[in-house]
Structure formats: C-alpha cells, structure tokens
Structure 1
Amino acid sequence: MSNPLQRPSGPAPRDADQAAARVRIRHFSKSLPMSLLKAREAVMRHFRASLRRFGITEQQWRVLRALTSGETFEVTELAEATFLLAPSLSRILKDLDERGLILRRASPTDLRRGIVSISPLGLELIARAGTESEAIYREITGRYGSERLAELQSLLRQLEECLDGPEIAG
C-alpha cells in the first residue's frame, strides 16, 4: 500500500511552476484554511503574553470564557462549544478543577454525564484577565477599525452558516 504523503520517485520539479502545472490545485497562499490559520495566529500573538501572565493556556481561556456564557455545560456541550476534542478537554478540565477555577459534578438525571460550571475563583480570574483582554481588543480595533472588525466578524459568521450542514463532496 503506498503512502499518499510519500514523495514520488523520479526527478524533483525544477520550480514551483512545474509543480503547479502537475497538480491542479490553488496556490498555497490562496488556501482558505491557511488564510484563516494565519489570521488566527496574527490575532493570538497579541493575547498569548497576557494569558501566560495569568498562568493559563489558550485552550484553558477558551473553556473559561465559554463557561462565563452560561450557568452550566454538559462536558459534551462544552467540547462542541470550544472546538476541543474530548481527550484534550478532559485534561484541561482536570487542571482547571485542581486549580479551583471550575466546579464539576455529575448530572442529576444521568450520573455518567458530567456538568461543569465556572467557580468564583474562575470568575475572578476572568475579570482580571478580561481587563487586559479588552485592552488588546481596543488596540486591535484601533489598528483595524471598528467597522472593518464588525464586518469581518459578520462575514465569518456568514461563512460558518453557509458551510454548516453536510460536508462538501470532493
């Protein structure tokens, strides 16, 4: 069985144009997933130092922020809301629980299901870190413009809604 990522044998292409001619695919710089990742990285670069000062990772912040939007979450709902895989979320919840930033309990209707909420200590951390986060948002808004940022967020929501549903067949 051949490996689809293995380089084909034979001479290497002389330049990128020859490679592009062989493979009918858009240029890497025009890749939507890569453009979104690059934009995310540009944004997150401004938040990482602040998160480190508060001793939390990007994923932990994501979980804590999600927990501030509702009273409680079932673990599976939280995984969906934060776009984290269950094993990763499990490790994150364990750490946040040990630090007293969240409260965990079993569902009263189904003891196999976990319920998570943010603790008073977690809310305190969000309030402190949130002040810095909002300052970073103000800086980003100042550089990019409030109207453009609102438009970008609207366009991203529209893209998400448009693509929500069955996968596109390839």
Structure 2
Amino acid sequence: MTRPSPETTGITQDALLPRDTRRSLPIALLRAREAVMGHFRPMLALHDVTEQQWRVIRILAEAGTLDASEMADRAFILAPSLTRIIRSLEERGFITKTKDAQDGRRILLQITPAGLKIINEVSPDSRTIYTALEQRFGRERIETLLDMLDELATLNK
C-alpha cells in the first residue's frame, strides 16, 4: 500500500508529524490503556462491577467523603455518567449519598461497609494482575511509567 505524498495531498510533511500513528502519543496512550484494562475488565465483570464503578468506590475508600463534582474530576467521569453510577452504587448499597448540611446543592458521597467488602473481594484478583504486570515489565519500569504519566497529566494545570 502506498502512502499519499505531500505533493498529491497538498499537506506539508511537517503537518503530518508524527507520520506513523504508532508514534502518536494520544493513540499510544489509548492503546496502552486498552491493553492494561483488557486484564482488569474481565476480573471486574466477575465481581459484577464496571471499571467506572470500581474507580468511584476505590477513590471513596481512599478519600473518605467527597462531593460529586470532586469525584467526577478524580474519577475522570462526566457528570451525567456519574449520576447513573452513583444511583447504581447506592442501590447496591456500596455508597451513600447525602446533601451537605452547609450547602444543600452539594451532594456528598461516602463508601459503605458493603463497598469496602467488594474492594476486599476484588483486591486479591487485582493484586494478581499487578503482580503479572510487574513480572513482565519490572516494578522499576512501571514506577517510572507512572511518574512520567503523572508529570504528563500536569499539562492541563
């Protein structure tokens, strides 16, 4: 298969950088995310938890009480989707939702004992996946990658 040349497309080569999509940072990040999540999704499905639900309960287990807008930011979930996720997690008894006493517009989220129980049930399987990733890539390389991704995430700040 031949590629269109800059002469035939009228686009200069500089405008096509990176020319190979395998070296495109956004595409590479998406490919890597899917490769990693391909290991976690089946495990979460066995526990009847979506990856978005898992993010919400994990964050609440770490942070304690959060308001819904802060949760949306931390979990990278759009507000309309978060509303559905909150409803589902609340129906399952994994989280509670209350109005802030000082500001009735704020919705506060908190994990319940049932939510902590599901984390404890999923964690051994999650640890197994992390162990396999560490064996394949090495702990130091994974830590370096996480540090680089944290630094890259500061582009929006």
TM-score by length of 2: 0.90
2:145 is aligned with 1:152: yes
Q: How many percent identity over aligned positions?
A: 39
* 1:55 corresponds to: 48
Paired residues in the alignment total: 151
2:12 is aligned with 1:25: no
Determine which structure has the larger helix proportion and give its number. Answer: 2
Most deviating of 23-32 and 148-157 = 23-32
Q: Residue type matched to 2:40 in 1?
A: F
- Distance, in Å, in 2 between the alignment partners of 1:44 and 1:19 is 37
- Distance, in Å, in 2 between the alignment partners of 1:48 and 1:158 is 26
Q: What's the secondary structure of 1:16's corresponding residue?
A: coil
2:127 is aligned with 1:140: no
Q: Residue type matched to 1:16 in 2?
A: R
Q: What's the secondary structure of 2:146's corresponding residue?
A: helix
* 2:101 corresponds to: 108
CA 1:18–1:80: 2 relative to 1, 3 Å = same
- Distance, in Å, in 2 between the alignment partners of 1:123 and 1:105 is 18
TM-score by length of 1: 0.84
* 1:131 corresponds to: 124
Q: Residue type matched to 1:99 in 2?
A: R
Q: Residue type matched to 2:44 in 1?
A: L
> Structure 2: any 5+ residue segments left out of the alignment?
none
Q: How does 1:84-99 map to 2 (within 5 A)?
A: 84-99=77-92
- Distance, in Å, in 2 between the alignment partners of 1:128 and 1:61 is 12
* 2:2 corresponds to: 15
Q: What's the secondary structure of 1:69's corresponding residue?
A: helix
2:117 is aligned with 1:117: no
Give the root-mean-square deviation of aligned CA atoms.
1.6
2:40 is aligned with 1:40: no
- Distance, in Å, in 2 between the alignment partners of 1:30 and 1:36 is 10
* 1:164 corresponds to: 156
* 2:65 corresponds to: 72
- How far is 1:15 from its partner? 3.4
- Structure 1 segments of 4+ aligned residues over 3 angstroms from their partners: none
> Structure 1: any 5+ residue segments left out of the alignment?
1-13, 166-170
Q: What's the secondary structure of 2:62's corresponding residue?
A: coil
- Distance, in Å, in 1 between the alignment partners of 2:87 and 2:97 is 9
- Distance, in Å, in 2 between the alignment partners of 1:75 and 1:47 is 25
Q: What's the secondary structure of 1:117's corresponding residue?
A: strand
